[in-house]
């Protein structure tokens, strides 16, 4: 049972790690975009408002990006119904990147207040444990892939393939050579 379940776990771990990677890499981009717009006073007000709010109200602020992205989800459904696959994929990617980036930015602002709620802290720590388990599951596979890629790159160097294949041919000739009588 465990053997059959492992590919699913690896796939799930890869998805989870990809989401975490996007989260980490989109956060600075969204912060850069927000800094481009002269919203310093608005950002200061938002930070002051979050400091005054109780933790459960900050949770509502954290959920706002999901509500704002709802029209994009309806647009995706509309495009799927009209079989416009390329447009659907583009809107899906845009919604995913925008949602993850904005959520990562808002989570950075609201994290101290959210972690004051015991159930949220428990969920946050659980996600961190899952992230560590996903790394433990996927990192050996990544190491093997990197090792294979290094071998292929070594073979692709000028002059390497011919020497490599000559060596294989020599071994093959020796293996299939007729014994001397």
DSSP string for residues in 16-37: HHHHHHHHHHHHHHHHHHHHHS
Question: Residue 167 burial by CB count (10 A; 0-12/13-18/19+): exposed, middle or buried?
Answer: exposed
Mean pLDDT, range 2-29, rounded to an integer? 72
Does 46 reside within a domain? yes
**Angle of the 55-68 helix axis to the 70-81 helix axis, nearest 10:** 30
Whether 57 is covered by a domain: the verdict is yes
**Predicted pLDDT of residue 134:** 82
Range scoring the smallest mean pLDDT among 34-38, 43-47, 94-98, 138-142: 34-38
pTM: 0.59
Check if the beta carbon of residue 27 is closer than 8 Å to that of residue 152: no
Q: Are 10 and 138 in contact (CB under 8 A)?
A: yes
In a domain, 92, yes or no: yes
Residue 1 reports pLDDT greater than 50:
no
User: Does the pLDDT value for residue 50 go beyond 60?
Assistant: yes
Length of the chain, please?
181
Q: What is the mean pLDDT of residues 28-51?
A: 70
Q: Which two tokens stand for residue 100?
A: 């993850």
Q: Which residues of 1-13 are buried (b: 16+ CB within 10 A; e: fewer)?
A: eeeeeeeeeeeeb
Domain region containing 126 = 2-176
Decide which of 54 and 65 is more confident.
54
What's the average model confidence in pLDDT over 64-80? 87
The domain tally of the chain equals: 1
Gap between the Cα atoms of 155 and 149, Å rounded: 10
Each residue's pLDDT tens digit, 108-157: 778 888 888 899 899 889 888 888 888 887 888 888 888 888 877 776 66
**What's phi and psi for 179, nearest 5 deg?**
-65, 140
What sign results for the dihedral spanned by CA atoms 70, 73, 79, 81? negative
For the chain, what is the mean pLDDT? 78
Q: Is residue 143 part of a domain?
A: yes
Domain presence at residue 36 = yes
Looking at the domain assignment, is residue 150 inside a domain? yes
The verdict on residue 181 lying in a domain is: no
Between 123 and 102, name the one with better pLDDT. Answer: 123
pLDDT of residue 140: 85
For range 154-168, the mean pLDDT: 69
**pLDDT value for 95:** 85
**Would you give the DSSP letter of residue 82?**
T
């Amino acid at each position: 049972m465990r053997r059959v379940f492992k590919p699913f776990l690896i796939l799930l771990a890869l998805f989870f790690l990809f989401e975490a990677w996007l989260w980490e890499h989109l956060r600075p981009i969204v912060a850069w975009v927000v800094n481009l717009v002269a919203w310093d006073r608005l950002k200061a007000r938002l930070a002051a408002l979050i400091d005054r709010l109780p933790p459960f109200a900050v949770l509502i602020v954290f959920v706002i990006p999901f509500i704002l992205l709802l029209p994009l989800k309806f647009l995706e459904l509309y495009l799927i119904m009209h079989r416009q696959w390329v447009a659907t994929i583009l809107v899906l990617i845009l919604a995913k990147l925008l949602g993850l980036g904005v959520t990562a930015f808002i989570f950075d602002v609201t994290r101290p207040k959210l972690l004051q709620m015991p159930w949220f802290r428990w969920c946050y720590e659980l996600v961190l444990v899952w992230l560590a388990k996903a790394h433990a599951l996927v990192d050996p596979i990544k190491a093997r892939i990197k090792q294979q890629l290094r071998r292929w790159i070594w073979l692709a160097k000028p002059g390497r393939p011919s020497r490599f294949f000559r060596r294989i041919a020599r071994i093959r000739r020796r293996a299939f050579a007729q014994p001397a009588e």
